[in-house]
Amino acid sequence: MTPLERRSSVSLAGIFALRMLGLFLVLPVFALEAARYPGGDDPARIGLAMGVYGLTQAVLQFPFGWASDRLGRKRVIVFGLVLFAAGSLLAAAATSVDGLLLGRALQGAGAVSAAVTALLADQTRDIVRTKAMALVGASIGLMFALSLVLAPLLVAAIGLTGLFVLTAGLALGGIATVIWGVPPEPREHAEQPRGRLADVLRHAGLLRLNFGVFVLHAVQLAMWMAVPALLERAGLAKAHHWWIYLPAVLGSFVVMGGTLFPAERRGHLRAVFLSAIGLVAVVQFGLLAAASGSPGLWSLGLLMFVFFCGFNILEASQPSLVSRIAPASARGAALGVYNTLQSLGLFVGGVAGGALVKHVGAPGLFMACAAVIVLWLAVAWPMRAPAKPGLPGASEAA
């Protein structure tokens, strides 16, 4: 990477990290803490309050991505982070579960993922794009693991209200990073002709990737409706769940760095991509077996490690592929659609995961997750990875 590309990658990954840490800090403790609010005796309402931010993000990701193509990436990112901070403060002031729901919905309205990834794509060359996106993906995974460690400690000290105030502060830190840390937007971005939305919606490769990110994030959130209970059944107290999560996440980063980047350089990206989907499917079958019997900590730890290996490879490669195969003039729109499906997957995963656990139990949940992952593997199978930059067919993929 050039110095400018490194600066762009680090600063934009930092924006993602600050925002996602704010979101993730709440997730491990939200259900328990929200039960203390008026209306907290309804698990369905708590689940909706936890996942509604994914719905508002799904609604607004495309408009934000589209707006970033026309108004500029930085302006849109700052506006979205202001909305996220306002939603955090609204949730902090809530006195009921319905108030938490409204705050979470406004948090999700700060749908900046498409604009951030589009700006990163603008400021990096194709040949290093996957590394740049991997840095963003790694920051998200690391924040998730960090939140599992910090959330129980912080909620004991400052409560759920304090956590939401902290998330507002993290959003303000993201705004400062946009203004002073991110390099200026490329001038040619404002001068290039605008692409057509139809070009994005009819592109077979983009459709496959959009379906994939929906499934991946639906399964990711649905899993955590049952995984913590499995760890408790295996004898690990809630406060110590990070003993499993943190090593699994950190080890998966090593695996990703040792497989994804060398495979891409050697032209084996398709094989690694499809193998990562297969790994996630295998994990669901493993969790199904664990939920149907007596889970052991070592087996659950291994399953979490394998899951994060597959997840992080997919989290890094999919947005990179979208940015490389989408028309440059509609890159923001393409990433907006992609992030819309990602956010919708989070919402559907939370709602469906809770319903499945309630009606068919954890084994039924993992069976459903395995089925949709296998379907994704079938949908993704015809994909073709992009050629190396500068070679014929470099714009064809997936």
Task: Evaluate whether 293 touches 249 at the Cβ level (below 8 Å).
Answer: no
Report yes or no on whether pTM surpasses 0.85.
no
DSSP-assigned letters across all residues of 268-332: -HHHHHHHHHHHHHHHHHHHHHHHHS---HHHHHHHHHHHHHHHHHHHHHHHHHHHHHS-GGGHH
Q: What is the pLDDT along the chain (398 residues), one digit of tens a residue?
A: 788 888 888 888 888 888 888 777 887 777 778 878 898 777 677 778 877 887 888 888 778 878 888 888 899 999 999 999 999 999 999 999 899 999 999 998 988 887 888 888 888 887 777 778 777 767 776 787 778 778 878 888 898 899 999 999 989 998 999 998 888 887 655 455 555 667 677 788 889 999 999 999 899 888 877 888 888 889 888 778 778 888 888 888 888 878 877 877 777 888 889 999 999 999 999 999 999 988 889 999 999 999 989 988 888 788 778 877 877 667 777 877 887 888 888 888 878 887 888 788 889 999 999 999 999 999 999 988 665 544 444 444 56
Predicted local confidence at residue 47, as pLDDT: 73
CATH topology of domain 3-380: Growth Hormone; Chain: A; (1.20.1250)
Predicted local confidence at residue 395, as pLDDT: 44
C-alpha 61/C-alpha 72 separation (Å) is 15
Task: Evaluate whether 381 touches 265 at the Cβ level (below 8 Å).
Answer: no
Predicted local confidence at residue 100, as pLDDT: 92
Predicted local confidence at residue 196, as pLDDT: 62
Predicted local confidence at residue 83, as pLDDT: 94
CA angle 19, 22, 24 (to 5 degrees): 105
- C-alpha distances in Å from residue 374, one per residue of 105, 215, 219, 226, 281: 32, 10, 12, 20, 6
Task: Evaluate whether 351 touches 269 at the Cβ level (below 8 Å).
Answer: no
